[in-house]
Structure 1
Amino acid sequence: MIAGWAIHYTWLMLTGSLMGADAQTISDGFDALLAAPGLMTLYHTLFIAASALIVGMGIHKGIESGLRIMMPALFIILLVVLAYGAINGDMGAAANFLFTFNIADLSLEGLATGHGAVVLYPELRHGGHYGLRRLYAQQRVADPHRLCGRHRRYRRGDGGGPGYFALVFGAGLETGQGPGLMFVTLPLAFAEMPFGALVGGVFFILVLGAAISSSISLIEPVAAFLVERFDMTRPQAVIIMVIAAWAMGLLTVVSFNVWAEGTIFHSLFGRSAFDFIELLTNIFMPVGGLLIALFAGWALTQSEVMKELGASVSWFKCWRFLVRFVAPAAVAFVFLRTIPQVDGYLIPTLGALLIVGAFAASQRWLKNHDKQLNNSAQAAD
Structure 2
Amino acid sequence: MNDNREAFGSRLGFILVSAGCAIGLGNVWRFPFITGQYGGAAFVLIYLFFLAVFGFPILVMEFAVGRASRRGVGASFARLEKPGHKWHYAGVPMIAANYLLMMFYTTVTGWMLYYFYRMVTMGDLMMMSPAEVGAEFGVMLSNAPLLCFWMVVAVSLGLSIVALGLKKGVEGVTKIMMSALLVIMLLLMLRAVTLPGAAEGLKFYLMPDFAKLREAGLGKVIFAALGQSFFTLSLGIGSMSIFGSYIDKRHSLPKEAANICILDTGVALVAGLIIIPSCFAFGLSPNAGPGLIFATLPNVFAQMPAGRICGAAFFLFMSFAALSTLVAVFENIVAFWIDVRNVPRVKAVKWNFVAIVLLSLPCALGFNVLSGFEPFGEGSCVLDLEDFLVSNTFLPLGALVFVLFCNHKFGWKQENFLTEANSGNGIRIPVNPVLCFYFKWVLPAVIFVILVFGYLEKFAPGLYARIFG
TM-score (norm. length: structure 1): 0.77
- Report the Cα distance in structure 2 between the residues aligned to 1:3 and 1:212, rounded to whole angstroms: 7
Aligned counterpart in structure 2 of residue 52 of structure 1, from 159, 167, 181: 159
| 1:369 match | none
- Alpha carbons of 1:336 and 1:190: their partners in 2 closer, same or farther (altered >3 Å)? same
C-alpha contact 1:129 1:148 (8 A) present in aligned 2 = no
- Report the Cα distance in structure 2 between the residues aligned to 1:198 and 1:81, rounded to whole angstroms: 10
Shifted more, 84-93 versus 119-128: the winner is 119-128
User: How far did 1:37 drift?
Assistant: 0.5
Q: How does 1:290-305 map to 2 (within 5 A)?
A: 290-298=400-408, 299-305=411-417
Q: How does 1:131-142 map to 2 (within 5 A)?
A: 131-135=242-246
Q: How does 1:366-381 map to 2 (within 5 A)?
A: none
| 2:198 match | 90
- Alpha carbons of 1:20 and 1:234: their partners in 2 closer, same or farther (altered >3 Å)? same
- Report the Cα distance in structure 1 between the residues aligned to 2:348 and 2:260, rounded to whole angstroms: 21
- The letter for the 2-side match of 1:304 is N
- The letter for the 2-side match of 1:290 is L
- Report the Cα distance in structure 1 between the residues aligned to 2:355 and 2:415, rounded to whole angstroms: 38
C-alpha contact 2:201 2:279 (8 A) present in aligned 1 = no
- Alpha carbons of 1:257 and 1:66: their partners in 2 closer, same or farther (altered >3 Å)? same
- Alpha carbons of 1:154 and 1:65: their partners in 2 closer, same or farther (altered >3 Å)? farther
- Report the Cα distance in structure 2 between the residues aligned to 1:196 and 1:169, rounded to whole angstroms: 16
Q: How does 1:167-182 map to 2 (within 5 A)?
A: 167-182=278-293
- Alpha carbons of 1:267 and 1:113: their partners in 2 closer, same or farther (altered >3 Å)? closer
- Report the Cα distance in structure 2 between the residues aligned to 1:208 and 1:244, rounded to whole angstroms: 22
- The letter for the 2-side match of 1:26 is V
C-alpha deviations, 1:262-283, integer Å up to 9, x for none? x4x6599995322211221222
User: How far did 1:248 drift?
Assistant: 3.4
Q: Quick one: higher RCO (CA 8 Å, sep 6+), 1 or 2? A: 2
User: How far did 1:222 drift?
Assistant: 2.5
- Alpha carbons of 1:96 and 1:300: their partners in 2 closer, same or farther (altered >3 Å)? farther
Unaligned runs of 5+ in 2: 1-106
Shifted more, 89-98 versus 266-275: the winner is 266-275
- Alpha carbons of 1:49 and 1:199: their partners in 2 closer, same or farther (altered >3 Å)? same
- Alpha carbons of 1:92 and 1:55: their partners in 2 closer, same or farther (altered >3 Å)? farther
| 1:165 match | 276
Equivalent position SS for 1:256:
coil
Q: Please state if 1:283 is matched with 2:408.
A: no
- Report the Cα distance in structure 2 between the residues aligned to 1:329 and 1:317, rounded to whole angstroms: 18
C-alpha deviations, 1:239-287, integer Å up to 9, x for none? 34444433333211111111111x4x65999953222112212222222
User: How far did 1:98 drift?
Assistant: 5.4
Count, aligned residues: 341
Q: Please state if 1:69 is matched with 2:185.
A: no
Q: Please state if 1:326 is matched with 2:454.
A: no
| 1:10 match | 116
User: How far did 1:39 drift?
Assistant: 0.4
C-alpha contact 1:67 1:151 (8 A) present in aligned 2 = no
- Report the Cα distance in structure 1 between the residues aligned to 2:163 and 2:235, rounded to whole angstroms: 18
Structure with the larger helix share: 1
C-alpha deviations, 1:18-57, integer Å up to 9, x for none? 2222123222321211110100111111111111111121
| 2:40 match | none
- The letter for the 1-side match of 2:115 is Y
Equivalent position SS for 1:160:
helix
C-alpha contact 1:127 1:217 (8 A) present in aligned 2 = no
User: How far did 1:136 drift?
Assistant: 6.0
Shifted more, 92-101 versus 299-308: the winner is 92-101
- Report the Cα distance in structure 1 between the residues aligned to 2:243 and 2:462, rounded to whole angstroms: 44
C-alpha contact 2:237 2:394 (8 A) present in aligned 1 = no
Equivalent position SS for 1:315:
coil
| 1:239 match | 350
- Alpha carbons of 1:316 and 1:48: their partners in 2 closer, same or farther (altered >3 Å)? farther
Equivalent position SS for 2:305:
coil
Aligned counterpart in structure 1 of residue 311 of structure 2, from 175, 184, 200: 200
Q: How does 1:202-221 map to 2 (within 5 A)?
A: 202-221=313-332
C-alpha deviations, 1:107-127, integer Å up to 9, x for none? 443344333322223336995
Unaligned runs of 5+ in 1: 349-381
C-alpha deviations, 1:110-157, integer Å up to 9, x for none? 3443333222233369955533454568xxxx99x9x99998898565
- Alpha carbons of 1:309 and 1:95: their partners in 2 closer, same or farther (altered >3 Å)? farther
TM-score (norm. length: structure 2): 0.63
Equivalent position SS for 2:126:
coil
**Cα RMSD, aligned residues only:** 3.7
- The letter for the 2-side match of 1:283 is T
- Report the Cα distance in structure 2 between the residues aligned to 1:131 and 1:110, rounded to whole angstroms: 32
Q: How does 1:108-123 map to 2 (within 5 A)?
A: 108-123=219-234
- Report the Cα distance in structure 2 between the residues aligned to 1:268 and 1:79, rounded to whole angstroms: 41
- Report the Cα distance in structure 1 between the residues aligned to 2:389 and 2:228, rounded to whole angstroms: 16
- Report the Cα distance in structure 2 between the residues aligned to 1:184 and 1:271, rounded to whole angstroms: 18
Identity level (%): 24
- Report the Cα distance in structure 2 between the residues aligned to 1:313 and 1:25, rounded to whole angstroms: 53
- Report the Cα distance in structure 2 between the residues aligned to 1:343 and 1:31, rounded to whole angstroms: 30
- Alpha carbons of 1:151 and 1:56: their partners in 2 closer, same or farther (altered >3 Å)? farther
- The letter for the 2-side match of 1:193 is M
Equivalent position SS for 1:225:
helix
C-alpha contact 2:109 2:319 (8 A) present in aligned 1 = yes
- The letter for the 1-side match of 2:363 is T
- Report the Cα distance in structure 1 between the residues aligned to 2:397 and 2:138, rounded to whole angstroms: 35
Equivalent position SS for 1:115:
helix
- Alpha carbons of 1:301 and 1:124: their partners in 2 closer, same or farther (altered >3 Å)? closer
User: How far did 1:106 drift?
Assistant: 5.7
| 1:308 match | 420
- The letter for the 1-side match of 2:281 is G
- The letter for the 2-side match of 1:32 is V
| 1:100 match | 208
